[in-house]
Copies of this chain bind each other. A is one copy, B any other.
Amino acid sequence: MPELRHDPIQRRWVIIARERGARPLQFQGELRFPRNPACPFCEGMEGTTPHEIMALGPDGRQPNTPGWELRVVPNKFPALQIEGEPDRRGVGFYDAMNGIGAHEVLIETPRHMLHMAEMSPAQMEAIFFAYQTRLVDLMKDPRFKYVLIFKNYGADAGATIAHPHTQIIATPVTPRTVSDELASARDHFRLKERCLFCDLLAQEMDGGERLVALSDHFAAICPYASRFPYEVMVLPRRHAHDFALEPAERVRDLSRIMHVVMKRLRTALGDPPFNFVFHTAPNTNHHMRRSNYWDTISHDWHWHVEILPRMTQPAGFEWGTGFYINPMAPELAAEHLRKVQVEA
């Protein structure tokens, strides 16, 4: 019997249809990447990107020259433009604003093809510290309500360049999915005076059947109402609402558990396309703080990372309905991910 499960965070139902694919899946397709003979993100190609915003490398290296370990540059084809004001306005019946924001690319390594699972712990640490640095910096701009950190890996996950990179987009609005989750968390807190995610995690730690990995400060689980096979959520074990505020020790620990999850996914599944997305707090640094709206956010919100392997072309109707059919029970996925042997 298929089962309908309710996601308490997104407040949507998902069909877990085990009968449609009970065995652990392995990625069957070919990892597609668009061809790009002259990769703009490779070492030596620094002149082809806009000027770098930050970089890690040896002392004395000149900006936009080789020798770096990690670079952040503006996206050459940005979805949003850095100059200007949002200028929110009515257009007859509709609403519009200017597409201002930031669109940055974090080039994770000078090496053209390197899966996160294959990186060194030091490289992973450098990447996650850089995420936080950019987040903190972009949140200084009062025009930006939200900063999205996300990674597309493989053409089927939306990547247009194979070279390992993460995108960072600062937006003048909070994305719909995040504001929906903020609302769920707020409603739960009002009712229970407890954090929704802390309650969720308590139940997951209790049963353990959907647990993938634990580190000192983080837990990785396959969500109860997973939309996709092998979906993983990584969240702080102790309540925390804002990735920007995490101390160095916890950022380092996050890079470790993400490394573990990447290795387990890669070993279990082959080399599937995937996305990951940070759901951190909106930018409460500025004028928003003066309203009451964010008064309880440090209590009711709990930041986390969603990792979405793209094993299957999801039935397209999900776009039109928000209704997901997942052929893989999250308990089976978690068990598979726990059991695969990976190097420490």
Determine the distance from Cα of A46 to Cα of B317 in the docked complex, in whole angstroms: 26
B321, A95: Cβ atoms under 8 Å? Answer: no
Interface string of A181-207 (1 = CB under 8 A from B): 000000000000000000110110011
Q: Does A293 contact B (CB under 8 A)?
A: no
B13, A320: Cβ atoms under 8 Å? Answer: no
Closest CB of chain B to A219's CB: distance in Å? 15
A277, B317: Cβ atoms under 8 Å? Answer: yes
Stretch of A4-12, A54-62, A128-136, A262-270 lying at the B interface: A4-12
A97 CB contacts on chain B under 8 angstroms:
3-4
B99, A15: Cβ atoms under 8 Å? Answer: yes
B317, A158: Cβ atoms under 8 Å? Answer: yes
Partner of A323, one of B16, B93, B96, B175: B175
A96 CB contacts on chain B under 8 angstroms:
3-6
B17, A79: Cβ atoms under 8 Å? Answer: yes
Q: Does A306 contact B (CB under 8 A)?
A: yes
B99, A17: Cβ atoms under 8 Å? Answer: yes
B315, A308: Cβ atoms under 8 Å? Answer: no
B321, A98: Cβ atoms under 8 Å? Answer: no
The complex is assembled from copies of this chain, and their number is: 2
Closest CB of chain B to A292's CB: distance in Å? 22
- Known interface pairs A150-B321, A175-B321; A99-B313 also in contact (CB < 8 Å): no
Q: Does A316 contact B (CB under 8 A)?
A: yes
Q: Does A25 contact B (CB under 8 A)?
A: no
A180, B315: Cβ atoms under 8 Å? Answer: no
A92 CB contacts on chain B under 8 angstroms:
203, 206-207
Closest CB of chain B to A90's CB: distance in Å? 10
Closest CB of chain B to A144's CB: distance in Å? 13
Q: Does A19 contact B (CB under 8 A)?
A: yes
Q: Does A152 contact B (CB under 8 A)?
A: yes
Interface string of A74-102 (1 = CB under 8 A from B): 00011111001010000111111111100
Q: Does A20 contact B (CB under 8 A)?
A: yes
Closest CB of chain B to A272's CB: distance in Å? 12
A172, B4: Cβ atoms under 8 Å? Answer: yes
A177, B320: Cβ atoms under 8 Å? Answer: yes
Closest CB of chain B to A180's CB: distance in Å? 7
Determine the distance from Cα of A211 to Cα of B158 in the docked complex, in whole angstroms: 30
A95, B8: Cβ atoms under 8 Å? Answer: yes
B275, A93: Cβ atoms under 8 Å? Answer: no
Partner of A156, one of B86, B98, B313: B313
B308, A173: Cβ atoms under 8 Å? Answer: no
Q: Across chains A and B, which 3 residue pairs bring their CB atoms closest together, nearest first?
A: A2-B99, A277-B320, A158-B316
- Chain A residues proximal to chain B, CB less than 8 Å: 1-6, 8, 10-13, 15-17, 19-20, 77-81, 84, 86, 91-100, 148, 150, 152, 155-159, 167, 171-173, 175-178, 180, 199-200, 202-203, 206-207, 224-225, 227-228, 273, 275-277, 279, 306, 308, 310, 313-323, 325
